[in-house]
């Protein structure tokens, strides 16, 4: 079974506190709530300017090709608080890169770590991935902590071009590798 077939099977994933589900147009207000604030998205993408821009992004970036892209919804509040995605999928090499964004109001509660751990476990066990990567700006201390707490190991630090600002920045690549268990 291909990675994409597996992604279609796992389009809704439940954790103890969250539901990872396809992103819908009804998420526009919740997404705009965090995506319009630069402090929430400074290391990920330019802040959204208006709700119409958010709707366009939902339609073109999330709904057009939905596999491997999840809204993070809190079970208790039924509110979309962020996204987690398989940013780069290499089906031949059986590897993916995970990217994520979380509303600042929910930082420091272990929610993103829970989401990343869950997707990493499913990716390694159910999808048969060889490894998963997380690439973060070195100044994004919170994302570095999420990667480490999720069991990802620092592989390298390097300089690279920020895709939005076109400024050379420092990045860290964290990796979680499939561990073969011998009995």
Q: Give the pLDDT confidence score for residue 8 in this predicted structure.
A: 94
pTM: 0.91
In a domain, 43, yes or no: yes
Instruction: Identify the burial level of 11 via C-beta atoms within 10 angstroms of its C-beta, where 0-12 means exposed, 13-18 middle and 19 or more buried.
Output: middle
Confidence of residue 182 (pLDDT cuts 50, 70, 90): low
* Overall domain count for the chain: 1
Residue 25 confidence (pLDDT): 97
Distance, CA of 64 to CA of 22 (rounded, Å) = 11
Tens digit of each residue's pLDDT (9 = 90 or more) over 87-143: 999 999 999 999 999 999 999 999 999 999 999 999 999 999 999 999 999 999 999
In this prediction, residue 180 has a pLDDT band, given cuts at 50, 70 and 90, of low
pLDDT of 39: 86
Residue 91: what pLDDT? 93
Confidence (pLDDT) at 126: 93
Type and span of the H or E element at 66? none
Here the CATH number for the domain that contains residue 112 is 3.40.630.30
The predicted structure's pLDDT at residue 181: 63
Give kind and range of the element (H or E) at residue 146: helix 141-149
Q: Report if residue 182 sits inside a domain.
A: no
Given pLDDT bands bounded at 50, 70 and 90, which one contains residue 179? confident
Identify whether 58 is part of a domain.
yes
Mean pLDDT over 21-35 rounds to 95
Q: Is residue 121 part of a domain?
A: yes
Q: Which domain holds residue 138?
A: 3-177
Q: Has residue 42 been placed in a domain? A: yes
- List, for residues 40-83, the tens digit of each pLDDT value: 888 788 789 999 999 999 999 898 989 999 999 999 998 999 99
d(CA 46, CA 67) in angstroms, rounded, equals 23
Does 1 score more than 80 pLDDT?
A: yes
Residue 28 is assigned to a structural domain of this protein: yes
**Residue 163: pLDDT over 90:** no
What's the rounded Cα separation, in Å, for the pair 57 and 95? Answer: 25
pLDDT at position 68? 94
183 within a domain of the structure (yes/no):
no
Q: Is residue 159 part of a domain?
A: yes
């Amino acid at each position: 079974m291909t990675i994409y077939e597996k992604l279609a099977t796992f389009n809704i994933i439940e954790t103890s506190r969250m539901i990872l589900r396809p992103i819908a147009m009804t998420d526009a207000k919740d997404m705009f709530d965090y995506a319009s604030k630069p402090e929430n998205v400074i290391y990920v993408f330019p802040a959204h300017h208006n709700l119409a821009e958010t709707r366009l992004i939902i339609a073109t970036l999330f709904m057009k090709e939905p596999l491997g892209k999840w809204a993070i919804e809190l079970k208790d509040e039924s509110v979309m608080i962020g996204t987690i995605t398989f940013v780069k999928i290499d089906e031949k090499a059986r590897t993916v890169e995970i990217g994520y964004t979380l509303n600042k109001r929910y930082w420091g509660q272990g929610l993103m770590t829970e989401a990343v751990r869950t997707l990493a476990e499913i990716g390694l066990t159910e999808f048969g991935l060889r490894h998963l990567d997380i690439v973060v700006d070195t100044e994004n201390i919170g994302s570095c902590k999420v990667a480490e707490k999720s069991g990802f190991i620092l592989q390298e630090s390097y300089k690279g071009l920020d895709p939005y600002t076109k400024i050379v920045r420092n990045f860290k690549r964290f990796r979680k590798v499939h561990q073969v268990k011998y009995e």
